[in-house]
Amino acid sequence: MSQIMGQPVTEVVDDDIAAPLLGIDQLGKRFGGFVALDTVDLSVPTGQRLGLIGPNGSGKSTLVNCISGTLQNETGSVRFNGQRVDGMPPHQRARLGLARSFQLPRPFRSMTVAENIRVPLLYTVGARHGVHLTQSELEDRCLEVLSLVALQDKARKSPLDLTQVEMRKLELARAMAAEPKLLIADESMAGLSHSEVEDIVALLIRLNQRGITIIMIEHIMRAVMAFSQRLVVLVSGRKVADGAPEDVIKDKDVVGAYLGT
């Protein structure tokens, strides 16, 4: 297989290169003197399941933060659905259809599980043009989203009473409730058991089949390989590989920088 450094292997996965859902161009971010992201390019077409891997401190989380708006990039641009989004606060990006989950679940602690789901329904779905949800529609949507992750029985519980895996599911469900076009799942499986990981992977694939583009950041290679149609590797803030998963993991640069160790 040929070298795939820094260039998408388009023939493998891209069937809609004309209008990528997410277009990242020459993205750069520094913290003081530390370069967290160094001119990263990434183009994700609608409907793709993309895996993003890299060692700790490689800039994965910084990239997610720059896409979702929790951090602002310094150079380059982020385009989403044909619109420039860098400079926008996170809530505006969320309303455009960009959702993310956090590595460590961040539930709204004073609310019930169902109320957690209501927040994006009210503030993202409800804030989109021409959408108005009535009380009963809200309730229905809440239960619908919760049943998607099999949490419907815990709707009235406090998130603090949930188990680890349930907490992760709530995190994903809250992101899902916003009816996103793109979902970024940031290490949703760290610390989970074998069957729990399979559970979440299956869930993500189900969501993808509903038409949602998904970027999954993950350390667990088994999950990454089961999920991804395309794999991107970040090392020290640079994209070192991008292509079909089975090709990327054979790439000797990737093996040297990351997987081999």
- The structure tokens listed for 156 are 């009235």
| Binding flag, residue 118, other proteins (CB under 8 A) | yes
| Binding flag, residue 91, other proteins (CB under 8 A) | yes
Of 7-15, 21-29, 102-110, 150-158: span binding other proteins (CB under 8 A): 102-110
- Strand ranges of the sheet holding 213-217, from the earlier edge strand across to the other edge: 98-101, 182-186, 213-217, 49-53, 230-235, 238-243
- The structure tokens listed for 244 are 């079909």
Measured distance CA(196)–CA(51) in Å, rounded: 18
Give me the half-sphere count of Cα atoms (radius 13 Å) on the Cβ side of residue 237. 15
Of 73-81, 95-103, 228-236, 241-249: span binding other proteins (CB under 8 A): 95-103
| Binding flag, residue 108, other proteins (CB under 8 A) | yes
| Binding flag, residue 197, other proteins (CB under 8 A) | no
First to last CA, the chain: 22
Are the C-beta atoms of 180 and 96 separated by less than 8 Å? no
Could you tell me the smallest distance in angstroms from the CB atom of residue 213 to other proteins? 17
**Hey, CA dihedral for 256, 205, 209, 64, is it positive or negative?**
negative
| Binding flag, residue 104, other proteins (CB under 8 A) | no
Are the C-beta atoms of 77 and 26 separated by less than 8 Å? yes
| Binding flag, residue 94, other proteins (CB under 8 A) | yes
Site map 148..187 versus other proteins, x via CB under 8 A: --------------------------xx--x---------
Could you tell me the smallest distance in angstroms from the CB atom of residue 257 to other proteins? 25
Nearer to other proteins, 44 or 184 (CB): 184
Interface residues toward other proteins, by CB under 8 A: 32, 68-70, 89-92, 94-95, 99-100, 102, 106-111, 115, 118-120, 122-124, 126-127, 174-175, 178
